[in-house]
Amino acid sequence: MSKASAGSSSQQPNTASIDPFVKLQRLIDYQFNDVSLLKQALTHKSAHRQHNERLEFLGDAVLGMIVGEHLFKAFPNSPEGKLTRMRSAIVKGDTLAEIALEKGLGEFIQLGAGELKSGGKQRYSILADVVESIIGAIYLDAGMNQCYDFIHAWFGARIAKLDPDVHPKDAKTRLQEYLQSRGIELPVYEVVDIKGKDHNQTFTVSCNTVTLSDPIQAQGASRKRAEQIAAQLTLEKLQDD
């Protein structure tokens, strides 16, 4: 992949003083010919009228095609239904948001004051959209081959774990099975806060289990989404402990 050029000095630069767009290009291992595309990819509609929704649309299509082609070649005996399920596991919002969190993309997202105050940099829907927008920006900047490199670098490990005969379970199901296998009472989910207008609400949900002294809270664009995130965080906490 195309990399940002390193300085001639052997001493590492102070990353705190690096322009955020330079820093991000190093992080994603791709240097844009047109940096304005990257800036737009990181701009939420709450921050500016030149936002990332169109790039998100394009990136979604590119990601689906590249992942679909890879699965088509990698699983020549799998029927359409299994290929579709595997592709969905990779391109779904949860997976994209997890990748965004792993890569630390939240700090680069440009948000309006309201979204910023409500925790938009950690909101799964916004994080997922930014991953798709970056893919769309790379496609416009350099074409499909560069997108292949980027997607396989960022999604390759997850794609390699796919099994056409395995049906993935959601976080609430996995947490329930984890607790049941240990004879522990099932969790209780409770909506503790709802913010925003009807068409753009943020739900805060707590997941209460007898094994943890404090409930785990999470936010999502819907109650269902918030419950899934809370269940995932609770399961990770229990497994760590």
Tokens of 158: 């997850």
Alpha-carbon distance of 201 to 224, in angstroms, equals 12
**Active-site residue (options: 56, 115, 129, 132):** 132
Q: How many CB atoms lie within 10 A of CB 63?
A: 24
Report H helices in 75-165.
80-91, 93-103, 113-117, 124-142, 144-160
**Active-site residue (options: 60, 115, 129, 141):** 60
Q: How far apart are the first and last CA of the chain?
A: 39
Alpha-carbon distance of 41 to 19, in angstroms, equals 16
Alpha-carbon distance of 241 to 238, in angstroms, equals 5
Tell me if residue 60 is catalytic. Answer: yes
Alpha-carbon distance of 37 to 96, in angstroms, equals 20
Task: Please state whether beta strands 188-195 and 216-220 pair in parallel, antiparallel, or not at all (unpaired).
Answer: unpaired
**Could you give the residue numbers annotated as active site?**
60, 132
